[in-house]
A and B are shown apart, each in its own frame.
Chain A
């Protein structure tokens, strides 16, 4: 273990410092006057492998970073506006909107910091909670797990917690799911025989072709990607990563991806929620 720790420290110094050359290492994420935490000490469960955790924002170019500094420049807000309209939209057999039960969307402040969580002995993601409301309270149809309505609503609710520290519970009932997610994280997958950790723990700060590897933190999701110019859900990203190492990805909304989401989210404990973030 000692050897491993030394190795990682070496990477931190050489790899990270070199990798950061393109971006301003000391740039601060200040949105509408509020400073967000983009660098923090690693949570206790990670300290054997990482000393510090970094938001994906830190790894982006100045131009991409700038898009998140202002809520008008951030294109994700056009989808949050649309979700706010949807929030007030009466739908389903119960003739209710989100607002019928939750008058002010601000009452969801803090929820995003705890998601995913364990409810009724299962992992509950933000998407699960939204669909539970739709089917059980509104009598409306469930949304597609990574559909645009769902991702926009998840962003609207997540945004209420922006600036609050991620605080995923990993003990008690969560423990077996967290352990399962951790096992997936460190297991090599696919033709490229790569684990999540190979890129996002061993090589963050280095380039994979022209892409600057981040720690793969989830605190900014749903995230607006310049690549596809829309909001992207957590499971779409996890699915994409597994596909990119040429493995057969777990299905979106599957128990495996939910466990992985729980584990990966807990690696961001201490970083601010950035929803909706902007990435390349």
Chain B
């Protein structure tokens, strides 16, 4: 039985196919204004028996393909637990939202926090800021690592922060330093969210933003434990597919329960 997890995110569509509890195929595609069409293109390339959808577009998938759905929160919990069995907290920074999820000792969600309506401090925020500073998103984190720490960005609103960035540039500030300050602002905000759910170690850092080396460094700096030789923040090999993986595992579980 091949079970497909489909995660329709605001920026990226992710697919993970599993068979007998093991991932056998993953795929990512950029999302557009027409999510269902993009999903259909992805599905042509994959042979599956059942599917379960998650992500902000899960409702669309349910209508179009008549498949069950689960929220990103539960999907991330299951996916992270599969990859890092000892995981107790998850930080997911995706395209348009940030989530902090606390798991109990058997891996069940017991508390979560999520940013509300605006995309402040998310992947989208980084994209807009990278553009304002003339960077490709892939090189943005690396550039920030080259900067130094003498300035601070206080706005987390994308519109206000862009204004702040432009006035810093006008003052002749080096763009690496501005990039660094932007990263630090997001990391600080994310840590505050993690603290609200309790902050138990280890933390799995997932979502597209987990690919950013400067974000990883700041989180490790702010969350690192001096009293433990184990890592505090674990980034899975492909941090973007955790939700799709969780959905696939859940699809397989549901089949087993029915059988």
Question: Do the two chains belong together in a single complex?
Answer: no
Q: Spell out A's residues near B (CB within 8 Å).
A: none
Q: Spell out B's residues near A (CB within 8 Å).
A: none
